[in-house]
Amino acid sequence: AQKVTQAQTEISVVEKEDVTLDCVYETRDTTYYLFWYKQPPSGELVFLIRRNSFDEQNEISGRYSWNFQKSTSSFNFTITASQVVDSAVYFCALSDGELSFGAGTTVTVRA
């Protein structure tokens, strides 16, 4: 069974628009970690955030923010005032003994 679902395959926006990426996960463990990674065209996986299952506080880092809702098993990611440099594939991942990635969402920001 798929552990991490990113229902949006591709999102295209114009610069300065906000973008929200959805992530829904599935696990039977009570202790787990959630991650978001960015993969630009160059290929490297860039770590954005790690959140443990006991910390439901939302987090903001610059133009990035994350909304963790344990009740709905979701860990959504918002880019505010998007920029062309935000164009990349974004992966949500779950670690409950093994790191499992979602299928990824390709974000294209047009100037």
Partner 1 sequence: DTEVTQTPKHLVMGMTNKKSLKCEQHMGHRAMYWYKQKAKKPPELMFVYSYEKLSINESVPSRFSPECPNSSLLNLHLHALQPEDSALYLCASSQGPDIHYGYTFGSGTRLTVV
**Residues contributing to the site for partner 1 (CB under 8 A):** 31-33, 35, 37, 42-45, 47, 50, 52, 91, 95-99, 101-104, 106
The Cβ-side half-sphere exposure at 10, using a 13 Å CA radius, reads 3
| Coil, strand or helix at 98 | coil
Residue 67 or 95 having the CB closest to partner 1? 95
As measured in angstroms, the least distance from the Cβ of 53 to partner 1 is 10
For residue 98 the two structure tokens come to: 């093994």
Residue 43 or 62 having the CB closest to partner 1? 43
As measured in angstroms, the least distance from the Cβ of 81 to partner 1 is 27
Query: Burial of 36 by CB count in 10 Å (0-12 exposed, 13-18 middle, 19+ buried)?
Result: buried
